[in-house]
Structure 1
Amino acid sequence: MNKVRIATTWLDGCSGCHMSFLDVDQRLVDIADQIEIVYSPLVDALAIPDDIDVAFIEGAVSSEDDARKVRLLRERSKLLIALGDCAVTGNVSAMRNAFGVEEVLERVYCAGATGEDGVPTEDVPRLEPHASPVHSYVKVDAFLPGCPPPSDAILYMVTELLAGHVPDMLGKSRFGA
């Protein structure tokens, strides 16, 4: 039996959705023979592979690097899932949208600095003008809201996908919970 190839990533967010994914606990072991996690901050994969069956994206798109990553994941995935409120709506990450990029950088790296101040210019991806939900950049096949989504809702979505069904998430999760 071919295993379902799953990728996960987090962009501009807190990683709470990945913690909720891990909270599936023992129940992950029950489906371990059916899945292979091929890319994730939870495993040691360094490059986004080809032929991903399902990609879960946590967090808002806030930088050029985020935008590149979601486009690559969309290109290489059969199904793409927006995981959590930041990926679905922009949520907390989008609170910066009321300010310009330069104002945000100045506040973080200069006014809020306790050591050396100055906006970094090397090895830091350029911020997008706004933090945006994933669907602003690529087609999303399913949305799983929540901050973070409950582990039961994540497991339900995964098991439904494994069964070949498009999951009906109505009543399984809600924004902010």
Structure 2
Amino acid sequence: MNAFPSQRPEKRLRIATATLGGCFGCHMSLLDIDERILELAKIADFDRSPFTDIKHCGPSDIGLIEGGVTNSENVHVLREFRANCRTLIAVGACAINGGLPAQRNPIDIGDLLREVYCERVDENPQIPSDPELPLLLDKVYPIHEIVRVDYAIPGCPPSADALWKFLTDLIGGRTPRLDYAHFRFD
């Protein structure tokens, strides 16, 4: 059974994805939609995603973004992504509320770096300071504190079925709704 309307849109949809500070588990759930990705590929092209090697997002209809905002590079990627996505969807606990990376939030970032890089190292203790490394933010931020978010798909990670249901609702012109059975926090 086709999950999308039999009437194909005049213009193919463009879907992009991005990962900020997280584990990539939400992208793994997207890949876990398995053969249904072929149905999606009939009506959509993928911009920045695990299916392409595109590093910057072009204009897209739907943007799926996972991970919390942990450093200056994440802020840059998130703002560029938001500017290029007509509809932005926060995917997973890290994007929605900071998730596990936000466990560092109560700790002063200087104290955290000293403990990890100086107090737990036997030889040559020093905090990395290479100019190529993005600067850590004072805490991990959920993406809605940096940019406007249109929708959120909860879970850690959300299941492939939850992502599929949400996308088919959205693309089919229905208000995306997830039943409690779709929620997963592993």
Q: TM-score normalised to the size of structure 1? A: 0.91
Confirm or deny: 8 A CA contact 1:6 1:37 kept in the other structure: yes
Q: Which among 133, 136, 144 is matched to residue 124 of structure 1?
A: 133
| Greater C-alpha Rg | 2
Q: Which among 17, 29, 39 is matched to residue 48 of structure 2?
A: 39
Q: Aligned partners of 1:37 and 1:109: how far apart in 2?
A: 39
Q: Given the alignment of the two structures, is residue 160 of structure 1 paired with residue 169 of structure 2, yes or no? A: yes
Q: Aligned partners of 1:77 and 1:114: how far apart in 2?
A: 47
1:64–1:15 distance in 2 versus 1, CA, 3 Å: same
- Post-superposition Cα deviations, 1:22-42, rounded to whole Å, max 9, x if no partner, equal 110111112211111100244
User: Aligned residue for 2:108?
Assistant: 100
- Return the letter of the residue paired with 1:71: R
Q: Which among 103, 119, 124 is matched to residue 111 of structure 1?
A: 119
Unaligned 5+ runs, structure 2: 1-9
Deviates more, 1:39-48 or 1:93-102: 39-48
Deviates more, 1:161-170 or 1:128-137: 161-170
User: Aligned residue for 2:71?
Assistant: 63
Confirm or deny: 8 A CA contact 1:157 1:169 kept in the other structure: yes
- Return the letter of the residue paired with 1:167: P
- Return the letter of the residue paired with 1:129: D
User: Aligned residue for 1:23?
Assistant: 32
- Return the letter of the residue paired with 1:124: L
Unaligned 5+ runs, structure 1: none
- Return the letter of the residue paired with 1:56: L
Identity of aligned residues (%): 34
Confirm or deny: 8 A CA contact 1:145 1:173 kept in the other structure: no
Q: Aligned partners of 2:33 and 2:24: how far apart in 1?
A: 15
User: Aligned residue for 1:76?
Assistant: 84
- Return the letter of the residue paired with 2:103: M
Q: Aligned partners of 1:52 and 1:24: how far apart in 2?
A: 21
- Post-superposition Cα deviations, 1:76-106, rounded to whole Å, max 9, x if no partner, equal 1111001001111111010000111112222
Q: Aligned partners of 1:68 and 1:172: how far apart in 2?
A: 35
SS in structure 2 of the partner of residue 106 of structure 1: helix
Deviates more, 1:38-47 or 1:133-142: 38-47
Q: RMSD between aligned alpha carbons?
A: 1.8
SS in structure 2 of the partner of residue 98 of structure 1: coil
Q: Aligned partners of 1:19 and 1:83: how far apart in 2?
A: 12
SS in structure 2 of the partner of residue 95 of structure 1: helix
- Post-superposition Cα deviations, 1:17-69, rounded to whole Å, max 9, x if no partner, equal 111111101111122111111002442102221x2111111010111111111
